[in-house]
Structures are given as C-alpha cells and as structure tokens.
Structure 1
Amino acid sequence: MGVAIRRAGESDREAVVKLLDEGFAQDPVSNWVFPDKEHLRRSHAVLMGAFLEISLSEGYTDITEDGTGCALWAPVPAGDHGDPDDPAHFRESVDPDNERVEQIARLTSATHPKDRAHEYLMMIAVAPSVRGRGVGAALIANTLERCDREGLPAYLEASSLRSRGLYERLGYTFLGTPVELPGGPHMYPMWREPRPAQRG
C-alpha cells in the first residue's frame, strides 16, 4: 500500500512540531544538546519548531496525509552559503543559555558540502505507531525521485548508526568523516548522487 504525501503548510505547524518532538526525544543528538531531562522536556519542541521554521521559509516540508510522518527539506545552492553568525542567531532564538545549540550548528555547517547544489534532508520523523512500515523511506523517496529526474544530489547527517543504515539502503554514502560532538555521539554526513532514469 502506498503512502500518501502532501506539502505541509502553516496549518500543519503544530502537528509537525509534535511529530518531531516525539520522534527525536530519545535521539542521541537531541539528548546531547539537552543532557538534563527537564531541560529536554521544556526546550526540545522549541528547537524542533526552529528547524521547521527554516524548512517552511527556505525550503519545504512533506507530511503524510494521515499525519504519521514528516520530512523537512531545504534546497542548498552551490557555493559558500550561510552567514557565519547564523549559528549564534539560531542559539539566541532557541535557547540562548545553551551553547550546544550553537556548537552543533557550527559543526554541521563546517561539514556541509558547498561545491554543488543539492537537496538537504534536515530532519525526518515518523510516529512510533507506524515505525518499520516504510513511511520514512516513502517520505525520502518522494524527493529523491525528483532529484533523480533533475540530476540533483542529496545530503543529510544521520544521527545514529541505525539511521545511517536506512539511508545507505536509499542510495546515500557516508562521506567518511563523522561530525564529533564533544563528549557525545557522532553524526554521519551522507551524500547521494542522482541515479540515472530506468529504461522500461
């Protein structure tokens, strides 16, 4: 059975933030950013909302029709992109006293490929009730099919070895050097070259 997907809008903001908050609350990277459980409970949804804001304003967010999954994407142009002060501004908007918000933004920005335009999968979340049923793969494939048609690469950072394995099955390749969060987990930068069209 196929997964029905549509483009999310402002009216989906609350539902998407809830999906992201629940989906990443146990994630090793989120728990590094917010090592105190009470701090995580208070501020994690604010961080997720900030990522959604970037996706809605600079890219796009896909959501399943039944609201069980979402994917945040941003088209990235070739060349050196972004203001060097963006990580500091991001921290200020999310959690001003938490230096790890800025730190992770700087580390991932430094690793992000800049020589070719590509589609950047910022985040993807699937409700626990449907995990393992192909919802996440369908959300990603929805954009990767267009990337293949347009000859466009794609990029992401996997936040665990488990998710890295999923992305490898979808054609992404680990770039070889992880993002090392000080005293915390690794993130795995992954790149996917567009695949040639299949001849029928």
Structure 2
Amino acid sequence: MVLEIRQADQSDRDAVARLLDVAFRSDPVSSWVFPDPEHRAAVHGRFLGVFVDVALAEGRIDYAADGSAAALWLRIPEGEDEVPAKMRAVADPGNERCELVGRLTGEVHPTGEEHEYLLMIAVDPERQGEGLGSELIRPVLERCDREGLPAYLEASSERSMRLYERLGWEFTGTAVRLPDGPLMWPMWRKPRG
C-alpha cells in the first residue's frame, strides 16, 4: 500500500477535528471523559479540536491526502501544563475529566530526553484495519531511527497497544488509571539502529 501523506495546515483544521471526533467517539477514554452519549456528541469534537490546535501550533499533523487518517506529532510538547486546562475550558468547562486525563498522563510522560510524541492518531472507522495508521506513522519512525530519536505515546485501548508493539513501542510498566475508568498505557520506542 502507498498512502499519499501531506502535512496538514490551518485550512485542514476542521476536517482533522471531525476525523478525530468520528474515530474516537467510542474510544474507552472518550467514553469515560464524556459518559453521556448525547453530551459526547455535542462536545467531543471541540475537545479534540484542542489537540489539533496544539499540533498545528507546536508540532505537525501528517494527513492522508484522501482525509482517511491523521497523526498529530509534537517534539517534547511545550506548554504541556496548559493544554489540559485549555481542553476543559474550550470543550466542557464543567467537566473536570477533560482536564484530569491530561494531568494524569502528564505525570508519567518521560522528561529529560528529546523525543517525538504521537499525541493522537486517527483512522476513519470505515477504513480501520487496512494498515493506514501504520503507513501514516512509518515515515516519522524511520526518521526517528535515522536520527537516534525515541518516540512516546499513550495507548487508549489494548487493541491499539498491540498495534504499537508491532511498530517497536514498549509499555513503560506504569499504566495510567482513570478514576473508575479505563487504563491508558504509556509506551516508549527506542530508535532502531
């Protein structure tokens, strides 16, 4: 498979946010943050739009030319402490879970070593299982390997964790437990030489 990939810009912002919304609407973490399905439908896209805004401003978004997949990357995110509060303020001010996810993942995020951070990756649900996600992130991982740069992410499901393991990420050993909710698995990928 050859996936045509381009870097998203501000004109793609809403399309990428819609893709994230559709791809993560049933995700265990999104379902925990917004337990009421009607409320989730109303605010979920705004919540994920904050991730898009951060990646556009401070990182990059690799975007399939056909709009089927997007990967949001940051190189050791700047302003990380501000992002969780911004997510809550923009998406759902009365919902402390919007902010709590970011704070809990921030507590286990590695520090002290420069790395690429896969903030989010989304594939259109109708296209999942075709290998688009792997194809989308492969160029960044190849660059990481050439430059000797590690990569980091948090898997939000066991299914996604298995995919990331096939691409060289390893569970760090300390899961993030959302109160009365699902686990998230921080994963680190050493560069392959």
Give the TM-score normalised by structure 2.
0.96
Query: Aligned pair in 2 of structure 1 residues 21, 180: CA closer, same or farther (>3 Å)?
Result: same
Q: Is the 8 A contact 2:50 2:86 kept in 1?
A: no
- In structure 1, stretches of 5+ residues that fail to align are none
Among 110, 121, 138, which residue is 1:124 paired with?
121
Structure-2 residue corresponding to 1:43? 43
Are residue 176 (structure 1) and residue 169 (structure 2) matched? no
Matches of 1:115 and 1:183, distance apart in 2: 31
Are residue 162 (structure 1) and residue 154 (structure 2) matched? no
Matches of 2:110 and 2:32, distance apart in 1: 24
Structure-2 residue corresponding to 1:31? 31
Per-residue CA deviations over 1:162-198 (Å, capped at 9, x if unaligned) read: 00000000000000110000000000000000111xx
The structural deviation recorded for 1:86 is 4.5
Task: Provide the secondary structure at the position in 1 that maps to 2:174.
Answer: coil
Per-residue CA deviations over 1:53-87 (Å, capped at 9, x if unaligned) read: 0000010001011111000011117xxx6464553
Structure-2 residue corresponding to 1:94? 91
Among 78, 101, 125, which residue is 1:104 paired with?
101
Query: Aligned pair in 2 of structure 1 residues 130, 108: CA closer, same or farther (>3 Å)?
Result: same
Are residue 114 (structure 1) and residue 111 (structure 2) matched? yes
Are residue 5 (structure 1) and residue 5 (structure 2) matched? yes
Query: Aligned pair in 2 of structure 1 residues 9, 34: CA closer, same or farther (>3 Å)?
Result: same
Identity %: 55
Give the TM-score normalised by structure 1.
0.92
Total equivalences in the alignment: 193
Per-residue CA deviations over 1:81-114 (Å, capped at 9, x if unaligned) read: 6464553343222211000011111101001000
Structure-2 residue corresponding to 1:153? 150
Query: Aligned pair in 2 of structure 1 residues 86, 21: CA closer, same or farther (>3 Å)?
Result: closer
- In structure 2, stretches of 5+ residues that fail to align are none
Larger Rg: 1
Q: Is the 8 A contact 2:47 2:87 kept in 1?
A: no
The answer to which of 166-175 and 138-147 deviates more is 138-147
The RMSD of aligned alpha carbons is 1.3
Are residue 56 (structure 1) and residue 56 (structure 2) matched? yes
Task: Provide the secondary structure at the position in 2 that maps to 1:184.
Answer: coil
Per-residue CA deviations over 1:125-179 (Å, capped at 9, x if unaligned) read: 1112221111000111121011111111000000010000000000000001100
Structure-2 residue corresponding to 1:18? 18
Structure-2 residue corresponding to 1:73? 73
Among 131, 135, 146, which residue is 2:132 paired with?
135
Query: Aligned pair in 2 of structure 1 residues 2, 86: CA closer, same or farther (>3 Å)?
Result: closer
Matches of 1:114 and 1:48, distance apart in 2: 24
Matches of 1:9 and 1:83, distance apart in 2: 21
- Give the counterpart letter for 2:49 in structure 1: G
